[in-house]
Structure 1
């Protein structure tokens, strides 16, 4: 199989594109000129309290993937793979005696230590609003010239992301088509979303976290298969969920979130720039949705928090889903 490089293809499309009559620009926040959160402002204390009062904690679903050496990761732009190594081992502590405790103590006290390194968009993670922008700016017109330094973004970095507690909705696209997973490069449309929601008897409410299952997670242990030619969201689906449904956060079980090649000339990631830069909607990638889908849990309390990586454009994310006792409508 020939490896699919969406970045390269996007650049080819960009170079061959004709000049557009209008150039899209970043969005203005309705929460003010200093706002760095976008639609995460939609969370309220009252909404959280109501949601958590209507949950069934007998079953909790972990929506995060394992991190392992060789795991699927974004490599098209040359970013680092996930790496893990032992810094201390029980026998190494005896041999090196780095803490100067002596052989007897080191044989008695077994010491293990480890370290890891990775691109911030590895594994289950959330894209901060600074991840993609337009015309040198990110959401709410913060400029890379003014607000991006050697230590990262001074606006809308990952450290600004609050813990997310909101109503969550699973949209199982393959199940609505009687499939286990979507075909390679399938582009999910607004009609696909509407059809799946109707078959599930589920509604997306204003301020929801909407998670879209493509079924690609079934290949997570096969990185080359998982990464190549993945299905993903199209622009019509993104616009429906953002504008008509009023979603607060969008996520999926693939790594690219959107489908490639891009639908729009001159922009190799139009879904990302539309959601992040124009609408202020964070994106979750590599969400593990298989157990939710198997149990047909379509509505739940979504609870998650990211690492407070100051200035970063993404962060590892550990979401859980707790079924609702009723829809909360």
Structure 2
């Protein structure tokens, strides 16, 4: 389903490009800005987020990742454990010190991940008007690298779309736009504010290990109009318990247009495969969100395990 959607949409992508044309190539934070919506995070907002902690309960939002974790093709990853310098099962030194090391082989964009601002653009133009010819390099991006992203500490908001649709797993192809987002938020008694991290719960991750084909074949998610709505609110990041955050099959004959709106046009980070199940179970609709991603120089994405604290 996914491949068919991509192939069908690709034919019409060039024709759809004028719809994307707008003055989005200049960041409101200046020509040298590389962190986008992370600029919304201020010391005052961090302190306000800390005030949301009432019980001290923590939630790991990242999922365990291994060779069997479904991923957007052709991505994959595996862990290899080795015992260097210990040939013949001999320890090191007279005290026989032994240890394990590990190597990760594969793609970074597997499992729970953050899309950096150098991940997806519009016709080779990325956030703040950066052209890939000027900053792209096989050894690492010269701009917009994942290492540039500061610690993301913010007020987190969970929008439970499974509860909104009264189902355990929201159907693939279901788009969340302004109407659905506002109605779900109102039903939960929460408000989306500037500087927030917004997460959607759909129940989609519950398919992992049970129906991987369906999990990879499509997903419910954010629609184009919904993405514009959230960026107009000034959110720092948008995430979901799905592999791509945006709705698939796509709403129109475009490919990952929501990614373009969030990343390239507004500098809003994308958080994929967030485990929101426990937060939804506890009706944790407002919380302190904390993320400090691995800072691989020039990296495009990063595997992450952010924490929600209530």
In the superposition, the TM-score normalised over structure 1's length comes to: 0.86
5 Å-filtered alignment, 1:79-90, equals 80-88=75-83
> What residue is the counterpart of 2:9 in the other structure?
10
- What are the Cα deviations for residues 258-316 of structure 1, in whole angstroms up to 9, with x where unaligned? 11233344x31100001111111111101000000000010000001111111111111
Cα distance in 1 for residues equivalent to 2:239 and 2:122: 21
For 2:218, the equivalent position in structure 1 comes to 229
5 Å-filtered alignment, 1:143-292, equals 143-222=131-210, 223-243=212-232, 245-265=233-253, 267-292=254-279
Following TM superposition, by how much is the alpha carbon of 1:111 offset from its aligned partner in structure 2, in angstroms? 3.3
Q: Is the 8 A contact 2:173 2:250 kept in 1?
A: no
Q: Is the 8 A contact 1:26 1:133 kept in 2?
A: no
Residues 51-81 of structure 1: CA distance to partner in whole angstroms, max 9, x if unpaired? Answer: 2144125311111100122111111xx3x31
SS in 2 for 1:49: helix
TM-score, with length taken from structure 2 = 0.91
In structure 1, how many angstroms separate the alpha carbons of the residues matched to 2:207 and 2:181? 23
How many residues align? The count is 309
Asked which structure has the greater CA Rg, the reply is: 1
- The unaligned stretches of length 5 or more in structure 1 are 324-329
Paired position in structure 2 for 1:95:
88
Partner in structure 2 of residue 52 of structure 1: 50
Residue 302 (structure 2) aligns with: 315
Report the CA distance shift for 1:22/1:174 in structure 2 as closer, same or farther (over 3 A): closer
Q: Is the 8 A contact 2:173 2:221 kept in 1?
A: yes
Report the Cα distance in structure 1 between the residues aligned to 2:92 and 2:33, rounded to whole angstroms: 51
Question: Larger deviation: 153-162 or 185-194?
Answer: 185-194
Contact in 2 for aligned 1:215/1:253 (Cα 8 Å): yes
Give the unaligned 5+ runs of structure 2. none
Whether the 8 Å contact between 1:189 and 1:236 is mirrored in structure 2 is yes
8 Å Cα contact 2:172-2:247 kept in structure 1? no
Tell me whether 1:133 sits opposite 2:121 in the alignment: yes
Contact (CA 8 Å) 2:262, 2:268: kept in 1 or not? yes
Question: What is the RMSD of the two structures over their aligned residues, measured on CA atoms?
Answer: 2.4
CA separation of 1:21 and 1:140: change in aligned 2, threshold 3 A: closer
Residue pair 1:10, 1:261 contacting (<8 A) in 2 also: no
